Amino acid sequence: MKCCDYCGRENDEEAIHCAGCATEFRRPPVDKAPSAGFWIRVLARLIDMSFGLVMGVAAGLIALAVLELLALAGLAPAGWQHRLHGFSLAAMGLGFLGEIFYHLFCEGIHGATLGKLCCGLRVVSEDGGPATLRGASIRSLAYLIDSFFLGGVGHHSMRQTRLNQRYGDVWGKTAVFKIKGTAAESQRTLTHFGLGMLAGVSCCVSMLVMGILWRVF
């Protein structure tokens, strides 16, 4: 039996919430054993970057179709084809934002992007529970810092933390575990993966399309 620190009621050892006051019991700390190392996470990121190229091609085809329709309606500016090759800082920013949304929704809803799923990895809360959208958003935004010096900044943080956390994980209170080593309570279904992919890919492709159209208009 375990006693609730707030109301003093005794509960079963397996209880997650107190039967008296519904306070959630703090999960015991997890081992470092199931946490993922640097190079397997690099491989997962490379797979996601390759998938990003696929999303980029899809966005290009969609944007081209939209521009052709606008041209037929007389709404596209003259010489819009040449503007597609110009440099646009705003378009780059939208592309980066799309990548953030892809990781945010995939990891926040399911716990894994396509790359992490292929490598048998999952993003979880540092206490072993499921990842949250808040934690996923913080770690995704912080990747811009962790990726400095070819990932050297993130690697330095991973060497200093018990759960191999890069700075984004530390700030977002998340960790990357091997799926086989995670508790059942932190795992989500393939339905969650589908929903995360749908939301992430949709946002990423939409941002890329907006970036292409930005160059023209």
Q: Examine the pLDDT at 168 and tell me if it is beyond 80.
A: yes
Indicate the pLDDT class of residue 6, thresholds 50, 70 and 90. low
What is d(CA 168, CA 141) in angstroms, rounded to the nearest whole number?
8
pLDDT digits (tens, 9 = 90+) for 172-213: 999 999 988 677 767 788 899 999 999 999 999 999 999 999
What is d(CA 216, CA 122) in angstroms, rounded to the nearest whole number?
39
* Per-residue pLDDT, 179: 86
* Per-residue pLDDT, 88: 81
Please choose, from the candidates 161, 181, 169, the residue with its C-alpha nearest in 3D space to the C-alpha of residue 34: 181
* Per-residue pLDDT, 9: 79
Q: Considering only 9-18, 108-117, 168-177, which range has the smallest mean pLDDT?
A: 9-18
* Per-residue pLDDT, 13: 67
Share of the chain above pLDDT 70, in %: 91
Q: What is the DSSP letter of 33?
A: T
DSSP result, 54-121 = HHHHHHHHHHHHHHHHHHHTT-SPTTHHHHTTS--HHHHHHHHHHHHHHHHHIIIIIS--HHHHHTTE
Average pLDDT of the residues in 73-98: 86
Indicate the pLDDT class of residue 148, thresholds 50, 70 and 90. very high
* Per-residue pLDDT, 187: 76
pLDDT digits (tens, 9 = 90+) for 26-81: 554 444 448 899 999 999 999 999 999 999 999 999 999 999 999 999 888 888 88
